[in-house]
Structure 1
Amino acid sequence: MRALNKKLLRNLWKLRGQVLAIGIVIASGVAVLVMSLSALQALTETTEAYYERQRFGEVFASVKRAPQRLIEQIRTIPGVRSVDHRIKYLATLSIEGFEEPVIGQLVSIPEGRQPRLNQLVLREGRLVSPGHPDEVVLSEPFAEAHGMQPGDSFEALMNSNLRTLTVVGVALSPEYVYTIGPGALMPDDLRFGVMWIGREALEAAYDLDGAFNDLSLGLLHGTNPQDVIERLDKLLERYGGTGAIPRADQISNWFLMNEIEMQKTMSTILPSIFLAVAAFLNNMVLGRLIATDRSEIGLMKAFGYSNTQVGWHYAKLVMAMAGVGILLGWAAGAWLGRVNTEIYAEFYRFPLLIFRPDPGVFAIGALVSLIAALAGSLGAVRLAANLPPAEAMMPPAPPLYRKTRISGSRFILWLDQPTRIILRQIVRAPIKALFTSLGVACSVAVMIMALQWLDSIE
């Protein structure tokens, strides 16, 4: 083993406490970065797979009442691949054991088969069957909130008529990944739920035989949704159309896409804070080590080691400290990413979960942390490399102190001696004081960012 490598190991052992502390800070940044990127990738892939498998619509529109013959004209719009027309109404529900009023979103589906778009994922039971107008399929969050399962029944006020509906299935839908009621800010599965009922039952209940009041469209690949929306709005205008919207503005998808954007933001901000602190600590530790090793640096250069070899020696020390954090961060980030993705799957009710961390995620975490560590210690490494042997063999020159602006002020006379010393140190090293304050500010910012969510939700 080369002499410099032996010295590197001795330095690492001598600084093991500081190496571990810096490694933990770097590990925190790497873990947050790996967690955020892997969860972002999993959430994106899961959403895309779910939407594709269940044929989630790409354009949505509502009308007061439109005849079914209009569907043929809608199909002729350039870029339209499929059309699913249906009936949607809100109904007041009466659930046994729950005294408060409950709002139910009734959505029609064909009896005995899946709709063309926005297909259901059955979790229990079956779809509604022909000839049974009182059968419904409940959304899983609503069914779980009220402890309902196939075979249970409840009452619904539909168009001023009270009817008893029987649960035959429990399902999930890509259209209601984020289930939020009218005027609500947060999902409330106790007071709002989605349920699917046979088309014939809703036609009879709301006098919409041969008509519809809601539709969704599937588009051909590469079609601009806005072009389709303009043509669709012209067709629906005379029937009380309220304006078609693209998938991007559909409320459930909008909340989900915002969550993905928040993950992107978190994968940038939080790791940056941790890695900036790690860079500062690297510079501080390495600067003190070089000040201690002045005579050794002089001896190394006297024995023929070049500036590049000395600088590379201390750069390897920085990379070794970063390596500890990278390994810890990889392990913690992979585990946290899995946990975070499972929480998303439970909250958004995904029927499937795709968690396949890309090796590129781990490579990005390692590369970013190494760059931050080396950038933070660049000044100290350059100082060690450029230190002349003769100067290194001598002790450092004492610092040159001058009177500061506050030294002759009357204000300083009112302060005790410890306070004067503190003020002098701040004035003499303003940059050091500034970065120390920034480090404390960043640590407080991380705590506030995490804890403010509790107050926001409450």
Structure 2
Amino acid sequence: MATFARSRRTRPGSTRRRLSGDATVSPLDRKLLRDLWRIKGQAAAIGAVIAVGVLLLVMMTGLVTSLDETRQAYYERYRLADVFAPVTRAPDSVIDELAALPGVAAAEGRVAGYALVDLEGVDLPIQARVVSLPDFEAPRLNDVFLTGGRSLDPANPDEILLLKGFADARDIRPGESLDVTIRGAQRAFRVVGLVQAPEFLYVTAPGELAPDDARYAVIWMSRATAGAAYDMEGAFNEALISLARDASEPAVLEAVDRVVEPYGGLGAYGLEDHLSDRYVSEEINGLRGTSTIVPPLFLAVAAFLLYIVVSRMVQAEREQIGLMKAFGYTNLEVGAHYFKLILFIAIGGAIVGCLAGIAAGRGMVVLYLQYYKFPFLLFELRPSSFILGFLVSVCAASAGGLLVLRGVFALTPAVAMRPPAPADYSRTGRVGQAIARLLDQPSRMVMRRVTRQPLRMGGAVLGIAAGMALAAAMTSVMSGFGRTMDLNFNVIDRSDLTVSFTDPKSDKTILELQRIPGVIEVEPVRNVSVVLRNGLMTHRGAVGGRVMNPRLNRAVTRDLEGIEMRKEGVILANSLADKLEIAPGEVLTVEVREGRQPVLHLPVIGTTESLLGSPAYMEIDALNRALREPNRVSGASLRIDSARSDAIYRELKDMPAVAAVSLKEDARASLQELMDSGAGAMRYVMAGIAFIITFGIVYNSARIAQAERERDLASLRVLGFSKGEAAFVLLGELAVVMFVALPVGALLGYALSFGIAAGFSSDLYQIPATFGRADFGTAVLAVLGASIASGWLVKRDVDRLELVSALKTRE
């Protein structure tokens, strides 16, 4: 008796089995390893769902860190200005006044302007931006990074530096000559060096949104050379200002405007309104926002799957749980056993996700370098990214597991060792019985399973519907990118090319364009730089003047009907109206930043659908009257005979009034490339992940159904059912669940597509939430493909089922 008493006092949980050396494994840990091996397929699928959630989190947070820190270091090292103040012409002495303003740390003047580059064998003139550098010293602000060749020699006025991206695209090397036309005068310059600069991280031609290295150049020349070319000797037309640490930017902007106003100040603006920084910031903010929404969504799906798997496991192991408790294991020890299983899957998925996130981030960095011209961009991760990935994955998995563990704690040994109460099948009703008479025996078994366990079937339906919703939403977003391209370049812009003039010209210039052989139609435009204000909301952009009924470059309604330009007000893009928080009928303040610079108060008379940029439109004669500059145009949209395009390009190239020519097909190709291989490539990554998750969810549902019905299937085989008939009972249930899940997934996908489309939209382009039949069909095919693959894997295991072992399992 004493021996028996001692054995009772010995804790079973302390029993150990010695393995190699001093290593010991408890009985519960051995059971854990057996359970993991038994559900290895389901564990791998759930781990994969967790891994892709952590992958996205690590990749996106790493990209945000890499882009943001590299940008800040680049700006600081090369002293990028905080404020830009363009003027018409101001004497150099004004720089001293600007430097003396409160909050200003440094100020410098420079000459900047536009030019055309004439390349041999290229019919169209290439637009260029010209920027001056100090003659005998390094610039105090906006320095350049020399990547090849040497710096400018002040003694040689014919030397220039060239932006590396353009030089690489056109295969131009230091030592070569370049013909540049400035203010109608052509001059040959010698390229002595290739450079990059922090103010040209995102380089795009005026009036275009997507970068194209081959169609836009940036040229740096000495201050003396640029001053002579633009008639700026002893003067400047752009002031660069850096702020002190405690400076108030709005106050400095207001003070700078007061100083430069007598010299034709065009409105000082901060770095956030600089085109290059704005697009980089938009990309960083978009990644930051997506990283807080999408990964938790995937991890929530993983938590749901873990909840289902572990709850079914606990239900199947009721007797074992009762025995463990009867032998002295505490609730905490039994609960910890199942919690370890959850943690093992979650931590394994997190480790794989972290490693895959690093690899994916390094791949994405290469794509970002194509469009954001950093000297280098290394994928960097903070330790907090790994810690966050682990914490989020473990917490998400634990949230699903803890709900199950409550049931483990509630089970007493006596209750657990009894078989569960028989299910109540009375709810099927007469309708179910009537349908059952029309079916054969295997089909009736499928129907009974579906109708008698609605909660379990509902969980499986929701799981598969969630996977389909992710796939459908991502397919919808990919279709939205295509719709953006089609709407802008086929519906809104129906021209072949756009011509920009050096400065606003008389409308008689349009007659010169119409007389060019091969030009079919010409439509004048007037684009004016403005700052739009509605209370505290502001937007720096342009107002585009259009003819009353434009045909080549239109504003359209949501139904894609053309909008007539009315004389009494302004029409805003929907995205711009949302940004300014203004609606039709309200008055908008328009601060013109050219010419006499009037301040206009115009009513908003309508909105237009625009998926590229944030345009604002007025009737061209009404705009000219408001500016008190009648009969002026700044460019034109042309429709031409493609057979005569080369001759037309040469004619335009020789016109001194033409500052730039932009082909619609070139702009479309640039934007398409940006969407496909630049920042927009993220949608392909997420679409692939969504389809992987869809397979993981369907596979888990099939495996759970197989585990629950293993004894039933073995009984059918013993009773004489063939392998195919036994598999039909299981796969028929999966098929019913799948077909019920399809419409549910479609509704969820439709709702989810709006959120994901908004996440991908930016100032550069807006992605509409389209959900058409093709999107639904693609998602259905994904679910069907995942179901077929999962069904084949499950049927293979059913065919290999050991009947004796399965039949020994108690109900």
Superposition TM-score, scaled by structure 1 size: 0.92
The residue that corresponds to 2:138 in the other structure is 114
Preserved contact between residue 133 and residue 223 of structure 2 (Cα < 8 Å): yes
1:132-211 aligned within 5 A:
132-211=156-235
Please give the alpha-carbon distance, in whole angstroms, between the structure 1 residues aligned to 2:477 and 2:394. Answer: 26
Segments of structure 2 that go 5 or more residues without pairing to the other structure are: 1-24, 485-670, 673-811
**Structure 2 residue identity aligned to 1:306:** T
Distance 1:406 1:82, change over 3 A: farther
Distance 1:192 1:267, change over 3 A: same
How far 1:405 moved relative to its partner? Answer: 10
Q: Deviations over 1:96-154 (max 9, x none)?
A: 23222210101111235431111000011122211322211111111111111111112
The residue that corresponds to 1:437 in the other structure is 465
How far 1:39 moved relative to its partner? Answer: 1.7
How far 1:31 moved relative to its partner? Answer: 1.4
The residue that corresponds to 1:96 in the other structure is 120
* SS of structure 2 residue aligned to 1:60: strand
How far 1:416 moved relative to its partner? Answer: 8.4
The residue that corresponds to 1:63 in the other structure is 87
1:22-421 aligned within 5 A:
22-401=46-425, 403=427, 407=431, 421=447
Q: Deviations over 1:350-396 (max 9, x none)?
A: 11335442222111100100000111222222222212222221222
* SS of structure 2 residue aligned to 1:377: helix
How far 1:89 moved relative to its partner? Answer: 0.9
Please give the alpha-carbon distance, in whole angstroms, between the structure 2 residues aligned to 1:202 and 1:259. Answer: 34
Q: Deviations over 1:48-97 (max 9, x none)?
A: 11000000100001111111111111111011111121111111211123
Q: Deviations over 1:428-454 (max 9, x none)?
A: 438523454233212433455567557
The answer as to 2:43 corresponding to 1:19 is: yes
Distance 1:243 1:425, change over 3 A: farther
After superposition, the CA RMSD in angstroms is 2.6
Distance 1:423 1:179, change over 3 A: farther
**Structure 2 residue identity aligned to 1:152:** E
How far 1:273 moved relative to its partner? Answer: 2.5
Q: Deviations over 1:318-341 (max 9, x none)?
A: 001112111211211222223323
Distance 1:166 1:318, change over 3 A: same
Distance 1:56 1:404, change over 3 A: farther
* SS of structure 1 residue aligned to 2:374: coil
Please give the alpha-carbon distance, in whole angstroms, between the structure 2 residues aligned to 1:329 and 1:373. Answer: 14
Q: Deviations over 1:31-58 (max 9, x none)?
A: 1111111221111111111000000100
How far 1:427 moved relative to its partner? Answer: 10
Please give the alpha-carbon distance, in whole angstroms, between the structure 1 residues aligned to 2:452 and 2:79. Answer: 64
Report how many aligned residue pairs link the two structures.
455
Please give the alpha-carbon distance, in whole angstroms, between the structure 1 residues aligned to 2:86 and 2:429. Answer: 72
Please give the alpha-carbon distance, in whole angstroms, between the structure 2 residues aligned to 1:386 and 1:93. Answer: 80
Please give the alpha-carbon distance, in whole angstroms, between the structure 2 residues aligned to 1:396 and 1:301. Answer: 17
Superposition TM-score, scaled by structure 2 size: 0.53
Please give the alpha-carbon distance, in whole angstroms, between the structure 1 residues aligned to 2:247 and 2:419. Answer: 74
Q: Which has the higher contact order (CA 8 A, sep 6+)?
A: 1
The residue that corresponds to 2:686 in the other structure is none
* SS of structure 1 residue aligned to 2:101: coil
Distance 1:185 1:422, change over 3 A: farther
Preserved contact between residue 136 and residue 169 of structure 1 (Cα < 8 Å): yes
Please give the alpha-carbon distance, in whole angstroms, between the structure 1 residues aligned to 2:38 and 2:451. Answer: 29
Identity %: 39
Distance 1:108 1:386, change over 3 A: same
Deviating 4+ runs (over 6 angstroms): 415-420
Could you say which structure has the larger radius of gyration? 2
How far 1:288 moved relative to its partner? Answer: 1.7
**Structure 2 residue identity aligned to 1:213:** N
Please give the alpha-carbon distance, in whole angstroms, between the structure 2 residues aligned to 1:359 and 1:136. Answer: 44
Distance 1:405 1:213, change over 3 A: farther
Please give the alpha-carbon distance, in whole angstroms, between the structure 2 residues aligned to 1:325 and 1:198. Answer: 57
Distance 1:215 1:292, change over 3 A: same
Please give the alpha-carbon distance, in whole angstroms, between the structure 1 residues aligned to 2:203 and 2:303. Answer: 44
Please give the alpha-carbon distance, in whole angstroms, between the structure 2 residues aligned to 1:272 and 1:454. Answer: 28
Distance 1:386 1:449, change over 3 A: farther
* SS of structure 2 residue aligned to 1:18: helix
* SS of structure 2 residue aligned to 1:352: coil
**Structure 1 residue identity aligned to 2:120:** E
